[in-house]
Amino acid sequence: MAELTDTDRQEELDSLIHEIRDTLSQQVAADRGGEPGDVATPLSELTKHDLAKLARKIERLHAADVAKVLESLPQDERLVIWELVHSDRDGEVLLEVSDSVRDTLIEVMDREEILNAASTLDTDELADLAPDLPEGMMQDVFTALPIDDREKLRFVMSYDEDTIGALMDFDLVTVRGDVTIEVALRYLRRMDSLPDHTDKLFVTDRDGLFEGVIHLKTLLINDPETLISDVMERDAVRFHPEDKARDGADAFERYDLVSAPVVDEVDRLVGRVTIDAVVDFIRESSDEERLSQVGLSEEEDIFAPVRKSVRNRAPWLAVNLVTAIVAAQVIGLFEGSIQQLVALAVLMPIVAGMGGNVGNQTITMIVRELAFRKLGGGDIRLLYGKELKVALINGVVWGGILGIVTFAMYQNAGVSAVMVAAVTLNFLSAAFFGVTIPIVRTRMGRDPALGSAVMITAITDSGGFFIFLGLATLFLL
């Protein structure tokens, strides 16, 4: 039988979501005494038959697919389906859903349900869930854990979420360098299963100090009597808990890693980082960056209550309102010029819009670079020089094209020349502030992406209007 492709799985998931929506809409209609077409469907039938059928289908899904289903449903329907998820799977599903949806699910869980969900998770997974638990609940979770797991959880939670320490787990296989490959293979055969993403074993001495790694393929292709120390990789990539997660993600990409050791300041092996944790971090960071650029302070559940969505979107809309008023005031300064030459009113949005695009392109490049490394003074000077040169060339080229179009429309060489100059100057302004905004925010200890799109749009709008109308007033009127 052929395996299902990702497209097939997505189609099945979409079909299930539609089935859920249809079934629950029937249930609501029955609860109200009818449904479209006045065909009554007893609620008891729906509850015993249709919902049980849905529960069986959901039980067969991967936790990530269950999360996708929950995220795709309005809140009332989401909570109905959440009740159909087996309690033993609550923990893994909570880890897969977005933070905003997780909040809505935890809100309807009682203390025992939360503790049961927590008990099914590994230590590193608990650390991911901990920030979303109700106040005071974390202490109950700590109390329910074995002593060793409590210490591991405290260790992971002591690191910021953007560090390697927050990504690492403790589920790994170690072996000593003074044993043979045959001994290591016998050890592996006695295990019920290997930890996920095990592509290598970590070699330590008797005191737990890290010595190197040995890949599974190396175990298989070498003589069983060979010592591990003779074929292990001693200069393997390793991390410290305090290292930046972004640096770790970069290393995973550069060296095609599946897993990597985490060691403390004396090279004692304390855990490992795996590719799944790195991919999750990259995805979450990318989502946060996109949200920050448009001024959203947090991820938003698409079916969140109106009040919460309004509160999430309000701060930078207020900033945008102020900047829009400033832009309007700039236009007002040149009201007389616009009345004398109507073409100015038609052309000025083009100058502002193209400048905004240049600014956003520059900011995106700078924010991405800042995410991977700290820029020194020399780097910053080079970036200013490069972006201003790019802006100048683009300004002359695209400004020239717009100048030709403008002349074809209005047969006015003066307006065309002003258009070229205004576009070029606004491009230069957009490039300058596109570099400046994220760098200044970084120096202030702020997220360089937060609201950057809003700020650069305000600058290019107001600046574009002022440059274009100012030049027109000076040279045409």
Q: How confident is the model over 7-18, as pLDDT tens digits? A: 777 888 888 888
Distance (Å, rounded) from C-alpha 328 to C-alpha 309?
28
Instruction: Quick: pLDDT tens for 424-476.
Output: 999 999 999 999 998 988 888 777 877 777 888 889 999 999 999 999 898 88
Which architecture does CATH list for 6-158?
Answer: Alpha Horseshoe (1.25)
335-339-341-343 Cα dihedral, nearest 10 degrees: 80
The residue count for the chain: 477
Q: Which of the 8 DSSP states describes residue 49?
A: I
The kind and range of the H/E element at 259 are: strand 259-263
Give the closest residue to 292 by CA, choosing from 467, 447, 472. Answer: 447
Contact residues for 115 (Cβ-Cβ < 8 A; gap 6+):
140, 141, 144
Distance (Å, rounded) from C-alpha 421 to C-alpha 46?
69
Domain ranges across the chain: 6-158, 174-293, 306-476
Instruction: Quick: pLDDT tens for 275-286.
Output: 999 998 988 887
Distance (Å, rounded) from C-alpha 210 to C-alpha 202?
7
- Which of 27-31, 32-36, 170-174, 329-333 has the lowest average pLDDT? 32-36
Q: How many CB atoms lie within 10 A of CB 358?
A: 25
* 3-state SS class at 273: strand
22 against 289, higher pLDDT = 22
Name the residue with tokens 């008891």: 44
Report the side by side order of strands in the sheet with 200-204: 174-176, 200-204, 210-215
Q: CB–CB of 63/93 below 8 Å?
A: yes
Distance (Å, rounded) from C-alpha 78 to C-alpha 69?
8
Check residue 112 and give left, alpha or beta (phi > 0: left; psi -120 to 50: alpha). Answer: alpha
Rg (CA), the chain: 30
Distance (Å, rounded) from C-alpha 19 to C-alpha 34?
19
Contact residues for 331 (Cβ-Cβ < 8 A; gap 6+):
338, 348, 465, 469
CATH class name, domain 306-476: mainly alpha
* 3-state SS class at 184: helix
Query: For the purposes of burial, counting CB atoms within 10 Å of the CB of 378, is it exposed (0-12), middle (13-18) or buried (19 or more)?
Result: exposed
pTM listed for this prediction: 0.71
pLDDT at 240: 97
Q: How confident is the model at residue 316 (pLDDT cuts 50, 70, 90)?
A: low
Instruction: Quick: pLDDT tens for 225-248.
Output: 999 999 999 999 999 999 999 899
Report the amino acid identity of residue 271. G
Beta bridge partner(s), residue 259: 274
Q: What CATH number does domain 174-293 carry, 3.10.580.10, 3.40.50.510, 3.40.50.300, 3.30.1330.60? A: 3.10.580.10
Query: In 334-376, which ranges are continuous DSSP H helix?
Result: 335-340, 343-372
pLDDT at 47: 64
Q: Does the pLDDT at position 141 exceed 90?
A: no
